[in-house]
Amino acid sequence: MRDILQLCVDLDSTAVSTYGRLAHACRDSGVQRLFEQMGEEETSHVEWWTDLLSAWEAGLVPPVSDEEELRASLQELAHDVEAAVAVDFDDLSVDQMLAVAAHLEFYMLDPAFGELIELVRPGRHVDVQDAYSRHIMRLVEAIEARHSHTELSHFLARALSRALRDRQRLSKLATQDPLTRLYNRRGFYGYLQHWVAYATRYGHPLSVLLIDVDSFKTINDRYGHSAGDVALTTVADTLRSAVRTSDLIGRYGGDEFAILAPETDQAELVLLMERVLKAIRDMEIVLAQRNLRLTVSIGGAFISDGSPVTPEQLLASADQGLYEAKADGRDRAARPKRADSI
């Protein structure tokens, strides 16, 4: 994994150097400024990967699937990037310089980065994705505005835009539930691994909630599966409004949701569970011209003192609480469990 992250550092370092060379050689002040800004942004990308490499060395980064395949893909990518920028920029026209930049960014949009970018800054990966999208679109707009060959400029712009959309789509397919747009089980568990490692290493509090929609099968049986989908998406939207921006929500199963709440101790977990219960009770769904009310059962577990706890133990503790909430009559939250107590 260290080799993989170092390759990411090296690739974006090459991009920093390339944009510096382009800016130095460019005689068009507007395009020169573009290259300078792209280089500044690539410097921040190097910082992303360097931070992630440091986190891996501290034991805070979960493994990725198919490490050997990913390493080979990144090594091939590094070779392609080096070949694309191994030219004398002093003799290039503005059109040719923009083409070099387009080639560079096209390679950097390889799906190999997709899974890795999801690990950058837990809870803030969306900020990273948005920043990278703005970075690419800045070059797209410059190509359309500055390239002298209209047809070619449109082609380059479309190619970059499509590559960006494809990578975003592949990333979402891997970690996002298509119905609710929440994390799927795989995406949620990846962040859970990361945060459990962080919490146990540094003694920070961490909480997890498992939430089950009460009597959900009745909705499907009475109103149909499309109505069930409406109910699930409404629950998902309600959960979004009930949690903090730093909390992560996942669709953990058919009618089961999960919330990962960093820096949340037992007392704060109780408040969060109560807030979720109330938000769902106040929620209203209109199905077949009838107003439908739902309730949920909640189990919660927490880490508070750095005890060595695995993600599986934390989930098992929350699941035990969920079982108790259901057994006690549903529409309630069980008393939170300390993860290392079972």
Asked whether the predicted pLDDT for residue 189 surpasses 50, the reply is: yes
1 close to 67: Cβ distance less than 8 angstroms: yes
d(CA 134, CA 329): 50
d(CA 21, CA 85): 10
Mean pLDDT of 15-29: 94
User: Per-residue pLDDT tens for 223-257?
Assistant: 888 889 999 999 999 999 999 877 889 999 889 99
Domain ranges within the chain, ordered by starting residue: 2-175, 185-341
Q: Please name the amino acid found at residue 309.
A: V
Q: β-strand 296-303 against 332-333: which pairing, if any? A: parallel
- Locate 111 and state its tokens: 């799906």
Residue 121 has what pLDDT? 47
* Locus of tokens 């490692």: 197
Q: β-strand 290-292 against 256-262: which pairing, if any? A: unpaired
User: Per-residue pLDDT tens for 123-169?
Assistant: 445 567 778 788 888 888 888 887 777 666 666 677 677 766 666 56
Phi, psi of 154 (to 5 degrees): -65, -40
| Superfamily of the domain at 2-175 | Ferritin, core subunit, four-helix bundle (1.20.1260.10)
Q: Which architecture characterizes domain 185-341 according to CATH? A: 2-Layer Sandwich (3.30)
Asked whether the predicted pLDDT for residue 114 surpasses 80, the reply is: no
